[in-house]
Structure 1
Amino acid sequence: MTAKKALCVGINKFKNLPSAALQGCVNDADDMEKLLKTLLGFQAQDIVKLTDNKATKANIIKNLKEMVEGAKSGKYSYLVFSMSSHGTQVPDLSGDEPDRADEAFCPHDLAQKGNVWDPQHIITDDELRDLFIQLPENVLLEVYLDTCHSGTGLKAIDLLLDRKPRYLPPPSMEAFQEVDGKRQRGLNKALLENGITHHILWAACRADQTSADASIGGGWHGAFTYFFCKEMNASKNKLARSAVLEKVRGDLQSGNYTQTPQLECEATVRDKNWLKE
């Protein structure tokens, strides 16, 4: 049996930005944990769940590093990382592409330093790339990001009372001008550029869209995570990933959500379901 390990992160409350609170991210982490147990063969001890004040950058990175080290030592062959929170953008921190903005994800301890987000308290796509490219080729990584890539796709419908975009703009005019109009490479392309193809990335929306924190099904959830779990449970995990994606896209369209989820992986994996891993 495949040795598994998962990290499920959900952040509604932000220590230094109470006005940025969300409502559905902790429920997302709970839903993903339940899905992993009921359909994907994970045991309780295989899953670490970090929510709100436990989901600091240091704690998230610590657990991801432990997962990667376990995979490198042969302990794990299937890793899952899900994160529901705000997304944001920062100027390219690595300096490898001056015309690019880095995609970034907000931990509980998100903080500003000067005119920009403090690098010690934000998680960038470069950091995740540098961590995940260490994985051996026989290890499958599946990442679920229910965050916004960018605020450029914001529409009036995203601001209805029953939904809120999971996006925080840069913290100052200077920082906004640093990233305005620059392209985002994104985590998947960052991995592909390093020849890493044994991974699967689920993104709640396109790079130019926002994902919704929504009142749906009697509670608050990420719209993508809610419909993903709904379709997985309905199919009893008998559908290929590509088929699940199409059903989730249909659900979101029917609910008048503006986001289009993305599934990025090799075609052979795209057309398999999880039972065949």
Structure 2
Amino acid sequence: MTRSDPVVGQVTRGTTNTNRLRRVDRWIARHPILRRTADPLVVDLGYGASGVTAFELEARLRCARSDVEVLGLEIDPARVARAREQLARVRAGEASFARDARVSFARGGFEVPVPGGRRPAVIRAFNVLRQYDEHEVADAWARMASRLRPDGMLVEGTSDELGRISTWIEVGPDAAPRSLTISLRLAELDSPAIAAERLPKALIHRNVPGERVHDVIEALDREWTRAVAASAFGPVQRWRAALDALDAAGWPIGGRARWRLGELTLPWEAVAPR
């Protein structure tokens, strides 16, 4: 990006908490796109008031790809300067992150400026579209997705402040959404319907009767209630019982290996707005 190139987007609230994005980080770490890509460059778009989410992302992904690189992008120059100060402390061994962490920070928005014209394998954009209108989502997706490698993905989603409730959409390089993932902390979970409060912008206003995502959340909450007897064996068993019932009813919720983590992933056509 040259000095005259515009930065696209709005400054976010900047709320940043340690471990807030652990659920999506671990999902990305296991994704075939990260594991198979020839150039594991990952962008943390809109990391907020602190660079901690970029450092955490690198630490979690390097377990799957030791050569991973993470570029944190923020619109606010003051946040970029603060993150670079954090990076200097990491390099000096004054933080818990690896001194050789392959992390860098720069100013940028939805245009996703990357030095040398490299294309990211993954762009993680979390909690950046909540302040936008629903009709603006497609354009933001298209801008970000256009910067991806041909085999890359955009992961756009939302979480609560503590990372106990997360939802995200996987978007392909063609800007077409592929799936929705719901990820919940099962301990002390009263109802999985709480995920409705943290749906991505493309879906949060669609949680009304007649919309597919409403049907999904309603069915999940119903089966969670019916599975109350399994709670005697713990919340994970109750969650699995609820998802088993959804699966038996024909809901396309694959990925059983991640059910124990409080996750389910549905193809986009199962939740797409009508």
TM-score, normalised to structure 2's length? Answer: 0.28
Using CA pairs below 8 Å that are at least 6 residues apart, which structure has the higher relative contact order? 1
TM-score, normalised to structure 1's length? Answer: 0.28
Larger Rg: 2
Query: Which structure carries more strand by proportion?
Result: 1
